[in-house]
Amino acid sequence: MHTPWKIQNEVHRLLTTPRTRLYFALNGVQWRSGLSAYGCPIIQRHRKSEIILGKNLELRSSQRSNPLSPAQPVVLSTRRAGSRIMIGDDCGMTGAVLVADQLIVIGDRVLVGANVVISDTDFHPLSPESRRHDISAGASKPVTIEDDVFIGMQALILKGVTLGRGSVIGAGSVVTKDVPAGSIVAGNPAKVVGRVP
């Protein structure tokens, strides 16, 4: 009774779930048990790619669904044939953007803060000559996020990175290198600043 906005969020979620489930089905993404979608995410799935969602996933795409007010809906995008996004059980994300050219794997119980971007690709080549030849041929390398990781809002997780089990990524961090399990990183570029107690 003291948080009426939560009641409004649940009513809105229940009313929009049938349409959201249809949207998932039309985009070839299986709706798993316990999935809660607050607002409809954006799904950009290459027909010969996979987006695999775990159980009890919470996706917050509506600005009203979180006090941090996501700047955009959750985006799940696979860019090529063979690309995969795999999200484990009991995860949650708010306005997060996941773009896979090859592979993004997210373990169980991972929390992804508001407006985080996780991308396994540079999108575009660095050299002007390469961009003229193929503007979409940026370098790519898989991203792995192990179990129990917490990623603070506005963080950017770049290609080839592994976030070790139980690590914490500070808000606004730009992660360009692997993060050891149980460590806390922050900054641009992100560096180890502590250990999880």
For residue 97, give its domain range.
4-195
Identify the active-site residue in 2, 12, 46, 124. 124
Q: What is the pLDDT of residue 63?
A: 85
Q: What is the pLDDT of residue 90?
A: 98
- The alpha carbon torsion through 139, 145, 146, 152 (nearest 10 deg) reads 150
Q: How many domains does the chain have?
A: 1
- Identify whether the C-beta of residue 187 lies closer than 8 Å to the C-beta of residue 193: yes
For the beta carbon of residue 25, count every other beta carbon within 10 angstroms: 11
Average pLDDT, the chain: 94
Which residues of the chain have a pLDDT value below 70?
1
Task: Please confirm, yes or no, whether 124 is among the known catalytic residues.
Answer: yes
Q: What is the pLDDT of residue 69?
A: 80
Q: How far apart are CA 26 and CA 62, in angstroms?
A: 21
Q: What is the pLDDT of residue 1?
A: 63
The predicted model scores a pTM of: 0.92
What does the DSSP assignment read for 136-182? T---B--EEE-TT-EE-TT-EE-TT-EE-TT-EE-TT-EE-S-B-TT
Q: What is the pLDDT of residue 144?
A: 98
Closest CA to 85 of 99, 104, 102: 104
Q: Per-residue pLDDT tens for 1-26?
A: 678 888 888 999 999 999 999 999 99
Q: What is the pLDDT of residue 72?
A: 93
CA atoms within 13 A on the CB side of 27: 22
Report percent pLDDT > 70 for the chain: 99
Q: How far apart are CA 194 and CA 104, in angstroms?
A: 26
What does the DSSP assignment read for 121-132? B-SS-SSHHHHH
- What Cα–Cα distance (Å) separates residue 59 from each residue in 17, 37, 102, 114, 156? 12, 5, 22, 11, 18
The CATH number linked to 141 is 2.160.10.10
